[in-house]
Amino acid sequence: MSAAVLSFSIIEARTSKPKLRLQTSVGENMAGAAEPQKRQSGRPFPPSARGPPPPPRPRFEPVDREKTCPLLLRVFTKIGGHHSKEDFAVRGKEPKDEVQIYTWKDATLRELTDLVKEVAPAARRRDARLSFAFVYPDKNGRFVVREVGKTFSYGNVRRLDDSKTLGELSFEIGDYLDVAIMSAELSSVR
């Protein structure tokens, strides 16, 4: 059983005085939300089309690199695997293989791969794979190493992670970036 809702509408007659007309509409509940109309058979009509869905939001707002100061990203590289969280436990005694990069939160893992290749010869190998991890303190002050993506040294084999930005990956200013450089030949030399 549907509730009837009373509504008023203003009707302008040929005279200059507006008149009120009382209307009842069946099929609306007291909150004003329309109940689905039903066919004679009792089955409801399909929902009406509301038009196309809205365009997807950008994954991350790009940064105007001309107007925004870059952030300092401390990058630690290691051949064969990631550093352990214990390597970062004592402030001031972080691993020695550090590279400092000035960049923005919209920098992609592909951009960072190219920057790491400039300073780490092992990353320039054709078969090298780079694994990225954020290093940050948890709520108890202990460091956490969280892997966030992998890329190949050379872009002829594109991965989905290549286009991920620091911002999309929930990077916070002050986090470290740990880069593991892996290769079949490098792991046999270790």
Distance, CA of 174 to CA of 88 (rounded, Å):
13
Say yes or no: 23 and 112 in one domain: no
Question: What's the pLDDT tens digit per position in 115-171?
Answer: 999 999 999 998 899 999 999 999 998 999 999 999 998 866 677 788 899 999 999
End-to-end, the C-alpha distance of the chain in Å comes to: 78
Instruction: Please give the residue range of the domain that contains residue 138.
Output: 71-189
Q: Are strands 71-79 and 176-182 parallel, antiparallel or unpaired?
A: parallel
* SS3 label, residue 113: helix
* SS3 label, residue 119: helix
When pLDDT is cut at 50, 70 and 90, the band that residue 25 belongs to is very low
Residue 36 in any domain: the answer is: yes
Residue with more model confidence, 138 or 19: 138
Say yes or no: 131 and 170 in one domain: yes
When pLDDT is cut at 50, 70 and 90, the band that residue 22 belongs to is very low
Q: Which two tokens stand for residue 13?
A: 């007659």
pLDDT at 63: 84
Distance, CA of 85 to CA of 143 (rounded, Å):
6
pLDDT at 58: 59
Residue 55 in any domain: the answer is: no
Residue 142 in any domain: the answer is: yes
Q: Average pLDDT for residues 72-96, to the nearest whole number?
A: 92
Say yes or no: 16 and 94 in one domain: no
Say yes or no: 24 and 95 in one domain: no
Locus of tokens 């992609």: 108
In this prediction, what percent of the chain has a pLDDT beyond 90?
51
Say yes or no: 96 and 34 in one domain: no
- Tell me the CATH number at 121: 3.10.20.550
Residue 86: φ, ψ to 5°? -70, -25
Say yes or no: 178 and 130 in one domain: yes
When pLDDT is cut at 50, 70 and 90, the band that residue 34 belongs to is low
Number of domains in the chain: 2
Say yes or no: 39 and 118 in one domain: no
Distance, CA of 103 to CA of 70 (rounded, Å):
5
